[in-house]
A and B are shown apart, each in its own frame.
Chain A
Amino acid sequence: MKRAVKIAVVLLVVLAAAIAAALLFGAEWASPFSNDAGERAILFDIRMPRVLLGACVGASLAVAGAGLQALLRNPLAEPYLLGVSNGAALGTMLAFVVFGNYVFARPLFAFAGAAIASVVVYSLAKTRAGMNVERLVLSGVIVTTFLSSVIIMLTTLLDAARLRSFTFWLLGDLSQATWSGVYLSFGAAVIATAILASQSRALNLMMLGERDAVDFGVEVGRVRLLVFGASSLVVGAAVAASGSVGYVGLIVPHLLRLAVGSDNRIVVPMSAIAGAAFVVLADLAARVAIAPRELPVGAVTALLGAPLFIYLLRKN
């Protein structure tokens, strides 16, 4: 417990530093002490919601990744790679097509899409003998490509201007951040982190094997429902606000496990803090790398995540 507190303090300091850097730096330096209206608008109206949304999205995706990995006994399980993010993206697009500008329909549909994709991938990957790495990854690929095709078909319904912003959004983009998106993502991230952290001791057993978990007292069905439910909630809210930012749920829990071990009572809650810092920094890189132009943050996380995925796949 003491160790968890120490790690939390270190990560919170890193997160605070990342948020401060992301607020101050960008295409232009913005001073928090400036009286210039333009500079204050950049800092508080443009960067602040974007940075905070990035933190919420990072926390959401990382904590969902940590939970899914332990539940599925697979370090490669990640919302983006399993097709859960694409399920949420399709849900968001459907809400957009059906309900237009009624924005609160989007996270609801995103949640439903993420939940359905989770259940489908799980059902495809699970056999009576258990679930191996290849089968889970392949199931994720199948679901992801199927959902991508449907999303592409839906984009043909969009006009040219919307198509560009949707393409950016699909790749994972924080530039459209709004305060309502921040509040919603923050609420979802807090609820999901609390649910997943409450199951983290059970996840320590699930991580070793489903039979181990049953034998030593875990109500496996309940834990599975809570983890899938919480990760769908949080991925739905994150994707509705910022599109599919990939690999965060892979990179962050993996690095944490290297640093602090596999105890989910530490890995799960700390993934939320570390994930927040990671996406804030990745988005800062996306803003300054080719300034004044911007990259989608999803492109930066994928550049870092794809090599790690290959490394983990080979290792497994």
Chain B
Amino acid sequence: MLEAREISVQYGGRTVLSDASLCLSPGKITAIVGANGAGKTTLLKALNGSVPISSGEVLLDGTSLASLSRGEIARRVAVVAQETESRFPVTVREFVLTGRFAYGSSFGWEDAKDLEAATCAIAACELENFKDRLMNNLSGGERQRVVLARALAAQGRVLLLDEPTANLDLAHQTLMFRLVVERCATQQYASAIITHDLNLAAEFADEVVMLAAGRIVHKGAPREVLTAANIREIFRVEVILDTNPSSGKARVTQVY
């Protein structure tokens, strides 16, 4: 569905991502993990063509991203970026509706389909009671859910999420991941999620990609990648690995 082939990205002559290859397949969740500054956000930006790549190519359904317009990419790839704060008073509903931009003309007003997509996304993210509130009056976690709702309203079949659970409480972290899992399972979405929570990665991801200094150093099933040795190598911390008794997935416990 979305495939990166040996892509590199440079900022002002400095290489921040080198020869990264990755394939996001329908129905699968890929977790991207790594220390701060490892190049995770750059990789995600390269996957939807929002930063120029210096070599390699990204293919969306077999077509190079370079040959697609921003609108064509946006209709197929939806993004949950790290939340930003706007200085303008925008309501939750207005914010979610901006996710429908690629479906209309630049001046046009949303049609019934746009409104329905936004209403469904707002409901899925449990935001009905917030829809007329201003974004600036919401908590960080509430805003993060609105950002997810906008991506869901965009209905791209590829979902790219940049630390979507950073501001969320435990219940909403689970809600966020469950929404993504459900979209992947029932509608064959492909998704990539940057997360610092290795347990969430182990629990929900089908594949884990580990980045260090702009390179993909480990890639594979969660149990293969999330080993004590790999985690020590990347994060320089000691962990105990065992099995979560309720799900049977890998469980990472840091040793302080």
Complex-state Cα separation, A211 to B49, whole angstroms? 11
Instruction: State which of A22-30, A49-57, A199-207, A243-251 sits at the interface with chain B.
Output: A199-207
- Cβ A265 vs Cβ B98 within 8 A: no
Instruction: State which of A170-178, A182-190, A212-220 sits at the interface with chain B.
Output: A212-220
- Cβ A215 vs Cβ B74 within 8 A: yes
Point out the residue from B79, B90, B109 that lies within 8 Å of A215, measured CB to CB.
B79
The answer to whether the Cβ of B101 comes within 8 Å of any Cβ in the partner chain is yes
Point out the residue from B50, B75, B91 that lies within 8 Å of A214, measured CB to CB.
B50
Point out the residue from B45, B69, B81, B91 that lies within 8 Å of A219, measured CB to CB.
B69
The answer to whether the Cβ of B87 comes within 8 Å of any Cβ in the partner chain is yes
When distances are taken between beta carbons in the complex, the residues of chain B under 8 Å from A1 are 109
Residue-by-residue, is A277-316 near B (CB-CB < 8 Å gives 1, otherwise 0)?
0000000000000000000000000000000000000001
Point out the residue from A218, A220, A257, A261 that lies within 8 Å of B94, measured CB to CB.
A261
- Cβ A316 vs Cβ B87 within 8 A: yes
When distances are taken between beta carbons in the complex, the residues of chain A under 8 Å from B50 are 211, 214-215
- Cβ A75 vs Cβ B88 within 8 A: yes
- Cβ A201 vs Cβ B74 within 8 A: no
When distances are taken between beta carbons in the complex, the residues of chain A under 8 Å from B234 are none
| B84, B87, B94, B102, most chain A CB atoms within 10 A | B87
Complex-state Cα separation, A208 to B109, whole angstroms? 18
When distances are taken between beta carbons in the complex, the residues of chain B under 8 Å from A215 are 48, 50, 74, 78-79, 81
The answer to whether the Cβ of A155 comes within 8 Å of any Cβ in the partner chain is no
Residue-by-residue, is B90-106 near A (CB-CB < 8 Å gives 1, otherwise 0)?
11001100110110111
The answer to whether the Cβ of B210 comes within 8 Å of any Cβ in the partner chain is no
When distances are taken between beta carbons in the complex, the residues of chain A under 8 Å from B69 are 217, 219
When distances are taken between beta carbons in the complex, the residues of chain B under 8 Å from A133 are 87
Whole-angstrom distance between the Cβ of A18 and the nearest chain B Cβ: 27
List 12 A-B pairs, Cβ < 8 Å: A73-B88, A201-B101, A202-B106, A205-B101, A207-B88, A208-B86, A208-B90, A211-B45, A217-B71, A220-B70, A265-B107, A265-B109
Complex-state Cα separation, A172 to B10, whole angstroms? 48
The answer to whether the Cβ of B108 comes within 8 Å of any Cβ in the partner chain is yes
Interface residues of B (CB under 8 A from A): 11-12, 45, 48, 50, 69-71, 73-75, 78-79, 81, 84, 86-91, 94-95, 98-99, 101-102, 104-109, 150, 154
When distances are taken between beta carbons in the complex, the residues of chain A under 8 Å from B102 are 216-217
Whole-angstrom distance between the Cβ of B76 and the nearest chain A Cβ: 10
- Cβ B107 vs Cβ A75 within 8 A: no
Total interface residues in chain A, CB < 8 Å: 33
Given A209-B81, A214-B50, A218-B70, 8 more pairs with CB closer than 8 A: A70-B88, A73-B87, A128-B11, A201-B101, A205-B101, A211-B84, A212-B98, A216-B79
Which partner residue on chain B sits nearest A265 by CB separation?
Answer: B107
Complex-state Cα separation, A73 to B12, whole angstroms? 25
Whole-angstrom distance between the Cβ of B237 and the nearest chain A Cβ: 29
The answer to whether the Cβ of A148 comes within 8 Å of any Cβ in the partner chain is no
Complex-state Cα separation, A265 to B90, whole angstroms? 13
Point out the residue from A197, A202, A208, A316 that lies within 8 Å of B95, measured CB to CB.
A208
- Cβ A217 vs Cβ B11 within 8 A: no
When distances are taken between beta carbons in the complex, the residues of chain B under 8 Å from A263 are 94
Which partner residue on chain B sits nearest A263 by CB separation?
Answer: B94
| A1, A214, A261, most chain B CB atoms within 10 A | A214
Complex-state Cα separation, A198 to B91, whole angstroms? 22
- Cβ B99 vs Cβ A216 within 8 A: yes
Complex-state Cα separation, A257 to B102, whole angstroms? 25
- Cβ A201 vs Cβ B94 within 8 A: no
When distances are taken between beta carbons in the complex, the residues of chain B under 8 Å from A316 are 87
Whole-angstrom distance between the Cβ of A61 and the nearest chain B Cβ: 19
Complex-state Cα separation, A199 to B101, whole angstroms? 11
When distances are taken between beta carbons in the complex, the residues of chain A under 8 Å from B101 are 201-202, 204-205, 216-218
Point out the residue from A201, A207, A211, A218 that lies within 8 Å of B108, measured CB to CB.
A201
- Cβ A73 vs Cβ B86 within 8 A: yes
When distances are taken between beta carbons in the complex, the residues of chain B under 8 Å from A217 are 69-71, 73-75, 101-102
- Cβ A262 vs Cβ B70 within 8 A: no
When distances are taken between beta carbons in the complex, the residues of chain A under 8 Å from B81 are 209, 211-212, 215
When distances are taken between beta carbons in the complex, the residues of chain B under 8 Å from A198 are 106-107
When distances are taken between beta carbons in the complex, the residues of chain B under 8 Å from A70 are 88
Which partner residue on chain B sits nearest A209 by CB separation?
Answer: B84
Complex-state Cα separation, A192 to B221, whole angstroms? 55
Q: Which 4 A-B pairs have the closest CB atoms?
A: A217-B74, A217-B102, A215-B79, A217-B71
Quick one: given A208-B95, A216-B154, are A262 and B88 in contact (CB under 8 Å)? yes
- Cβ B98 vs Cβ A197 within 8 A: no
Complex-state Cα separation, A263 to B91, whole angstroms? 10
Residue-by-residue, is A61-85 near B (CB-CB < 8 Å gives 1, otherwise 0)?
0000000001001110000000000
Complex-state Cα separation, A202 to B99, whole angstroms? 11
- Cβ A204 vs Cβ B94 within 8 A: yes
Whole-angstrom distance between the Cβ of B13 and the nearest chain A Cβ: 13
Which partner residue on chain A sits nearest B100 by CB separation?
Answer: A216
When distances are taken between beta carbons in the complex, the residues of chain B under 8 Å from A265 are 107, 109
Complex-state Cα separation, A316 to B101, whole angstroms? 28
Complex-state Cα separation, A211 to B98, whole angstroms? 13
Complex-state Cα separation, A216 to B155, whole angstroms? 11
